[in-house]
Amino acid sequence: TKPLPLNPGTTNLEFKYSHTFQDTTFSPPLIRDTIVTHNLKVTRSPTGTIGQGYTKTCREQYGLSLFSGVTELTKVIASQINLEARLTPTPGGPCDNCTVEAKPSAGPDREVLPLVSAGPYLSAPFPRSENLNPLPNDGILQHSASDSIVLVWTNPENPLDFVRKAYPYEPLPASLELFAGNTRIDAITSDHRELEARLTLASGVICNDCKVQVTTKFGTDKETIALKPSGLTHNGGFIRVGSNTPIPGDGIIQHLSPDSIILVWTNPVNNTEVIRKSYPFTYIAPTLALFSGGKELDTVTAGHKVLEARLTLPSGEICNDCVEVLLSGSTDRENLSMTRSGPYYSDTFKREVGLNPTMDNGILEHRADDSIILIYRNPLVPSQEIRRSYPYIHFENIVNVTPHNTVAEPTPGNVTGPQWIISGAPMNNIPGFTNTGPCCSVQPTPFNSQNPDSIKMVGLILEASREFRAEVKIFSNLGEFVNQINFTVPKSEFLNLSPVKDSESRTLRLLWTGLTSKGTLAGTGAYIIKSRVTLLPIPGITQGPPPVESVRKIGLMRSGSN
């Protein structure tokens, strides 16, 4: 009445036939019983064939299937948490106290589920979850993401009669994203200081002890950020700053400017499921500019005596001695102490043309053929720099010679004292007076129109835009030599001359006291004053402007016998 199990190899069967008959050769007939024994050897073989005289019959195998709700499955996905095994017996097939076993294809969990009649089939509902530490026989099938889900039904009357069905598991991929504020970002900029990692899992998937590792592409910092459930996602915030001295584990990811920031999530249930997202750091380049008098420059001229470097940095970055001024050809270098002034860092420095610079004295001394160069070096990444070059154009070639009186009334009988007076340079020490005899003096008192003594002398007002050499000669109306003076105003002394308003030039007054080069009085009459003013060469410019020459008539009017 029951299926007969066969051994894996050979099964010996013994058939006994008994029959009863009447032996009518006797009177009365005798009743005889006979037993006939027949031995049959059955061998199980995958390649065996049915012998002659034998036939086979096969009944239909029980039906085994897996459902989620009313949907029959061919695979299981992450959102399908509650499953149902269904067994459909063949008509008249036995299944008293039937069970079905649910297990992972490779995991250790085993769940033996009772089958309950549900009309045309028997049903065994069970929940499913991902878990690397299952508890067998707790009614919950727990497996890893790489497992298939396997159902096995075994005929309780014949263990060799079973049905096995496997269903591949297809986890929905988790998503890992980075947010700044409530905005999802694909790249990080310097303005992104507070960041948040958001992990989205399939519906019903639980992530216990969820964490994200935050690292950088080139740096050494590494931060572990705990993720907490928040609605449909698991979130964890952290701070990003620029630094070349990170402290791993302080919750602040510190990196250099070219670094990418990398997020890595490893499924704690299945460590083969890893999401790695890399976010490039979009470096907002600083801006470096040169100003003079509040106006941005693209060229430096002689009129720009004081310059200002301005550096604009991305939010959160600082500048400590990060800007240097140097020259394209000369040796002077000036390190600027940049300080924040509103939206930018700035510092000022002076500029002048010269050949003997002193480094780091706040004055950039250069040749006229130099360009002025600003360099910003990122203190976090010294190899990163911004370089701005500004050509220098020297147009400062101003020379003017105007008369100081055309007729003078010298003091009567004055035959002593200097032959020439320099006025308008109170602190000057003019070298190079080459005329013989009593010569010259530098008077602190200006002999301008407001000075009553100015009418006693005749002379010239010399105006120049830089250091110069002056050669002045006086002749009589008949062309006879009377006096002369030659002198040079070097750069050190030029800066002490009186500045001209709204100009880059300075002046001095060269006054003739009416004495000849021999110290005698020049008589009343007309004279000729001839001047030649030459601007000194500019370092870096081999040829300067031509000398400025002038010839003017002057007169002396002496009172009395003089």
Question: 358-402, pLDDT tens digit by residue?
Answer: 888 989 999 888 999 999 988 777 777 899 999 988 777 889 999
> Strands, DSSP E only, in 303-353?
306-312, 323-327, 333-336, 339-341, 344-353
Mean pLDDT of the chain: 86
What is the CA angle 117-118-121, rounded to 5? 80
Q: How far apart are CA 94 and CA 389, in angstroms?
A: 96
Query: What's the rounded mean pLDDT across residues 495-509?
Result: 83
Per-residue DSSP letter, 455:
G
Q: How far apart are CA 418 and CA 338, in angstroms?
A: 52
Q: Between the ranges 17-21, 59-63, 491-495, where is the mean pLDDT highest?
A: 17-21
Q: How far apart are CA 359 and CA 368, in angstroms?
A: 18
Lowest mean pLDDT among 160-164, 169-173, 211-215, 340-344: 169-173
**Which amino acid is located at 526 in the chain?**
A
User: For 31-80, how does the pLDDT look when each residue is reduced to its tens digit (9 = 90+)?
Assistant: 888 899 999 998 888 887 888 888 877 777 889 999 999 999 999 988 88
| CB-based contact 267:276 (threshold 8 Å) | no
Distance of CA 508 to the CA centre of its chain: 57
Each residue of 442-457: b (16+ CB within 10 Å) or e?
bbeebbeeeeeebebb
> pTM for this structure?
0.47
> Does the pLDDT of residue 562 top 90, yes or no?
no
> Phi first, then psi: what are they for 163, rounded to 5°?
-125, 130
| pLDDT value of residue 415 | 67
Which conformational region is residue 479 in: left (phi greater than 0), alpha (psi within -120 to 50 degrees), or beta? left
| pLDDT value of residue 438 | 59
Q: Which of residues 557 and 268 earns the better pLDDT score?
A: 557
The tokens for 382 are 């010294």
Lowest mean pLDDT among 98-112, 165-179, 450-464: 450-464
Q: How far apart are CA 176 and CA 194, in angstroms?
A: 17
| pLDDT value of residue 542 | 58
| pLDDT value of residue 72 | 96
Q: How confident is the model at residue 428 (pLDDT cuts 50, 70, 90)?
A: low
The tokens for 179 are 């947010």
Residue 509's DSSP bridge partners are 423, 461
User: For 441-457, how does the pLDDT look when each residue is reduced to its tens digit (9 = 90+)?
Assistant: 887 777 877 777 778 88
Please state whether beta strands 63-68 and 82-88 pair in parallel, antiparallel, or not at all (unpaired).
antiparallel
> Does the pLDDT of residue 528 top 80, yes or no?
yes
| CB-based contact 280:188 (threshold 8 Å) | yes
CA gyration radius for the chain? Answer: 55
| pLDDT value of residue 46 | 81
Q: How confident is the model at residue 320 (pLDDT cuts 50, 70, 90)?
A: confident
